[in-house]
Amino acid sequence: AGDIAAEVVGSARVLLEAERTALNLVSHFSGIATLTSQFVETVRGTRARICDTRKTTPLWRKWDKYAVVHGGGENHRMDLSDQILLKDNHIRLSPTISAAYLSVKEKNLKSLPIEVEVDTLDQLEELLEVGVERVLLDNMSPETLRKAVAISAGRTVLEASGGVNLDTVGAIAETGVDFISVGALTHSVTGFDFSLEIEMDFDDHLDKPNHRVM
């Protein structure tokens, strides 16, 4: 508390006009970086890496994800063009989960990474038989996640997701999953508290005083 994050020199009118917008942005992005850092620190010593989701503020995704990286986390996918993620609604359009994966893989002309969401260990086993690249384990308990890690035995990348918070992320990380995606990093963050203080400098420029922001 009381630390100076930055100093800016300029016209008082301009500084005051920009004050609230600037503080809102800095507060929001610093809040994301701070929360991400807390998650990263909580899982330190495990193999798990913390990543974000696409649950970002409209028009601010690039900057939300930039803040995650500064907090020590990793970006999942920026948009739909980065990676294919087959979720429950996509899978329901095919007779089986493996059929959904193989159909998309066949049509994947850009060779994008493919990840498939599963709700059960049976679905995981079915996907392992067809060589799935990455699996999202949705809303599974730590006990079930451990079983998933054992079943996979290193054959695919495993990502845990769903209802992750600072109270649960440690136990999730200890199961041995590779990634933990946390939507709360960007959709439920509390802004970091910043304030703006103006100081007048009359000594050097008596006719046109500078205004320093701290």
- List the catalytic residues: 20, 55, 87, 117, 138
Tally of CB atoms within 10 A around 131: 12
Tokens of 26: 């800095």
CA angle 25, 162, 150 (to 5 degrees): 130
User: Alpha carbon of 45 to those of 42, 147, 158: distances in Å?
Assistant: 9, 21, 18
β strands within the chain, DSSP E:
8-10, 49-51, 84-86, 114-118, 134-138, 157-161, 179-181, 198-201, 210-213
Contact of 212 with 15, CB cutoff 8 Å: no
Tokens of 141: 């308990």
Contact of 118 with 138, CB cutoff 8 Å: yes
Contacts for 10 with CB less than 8 Å, ≥ 6 apart:
210, 211, 213
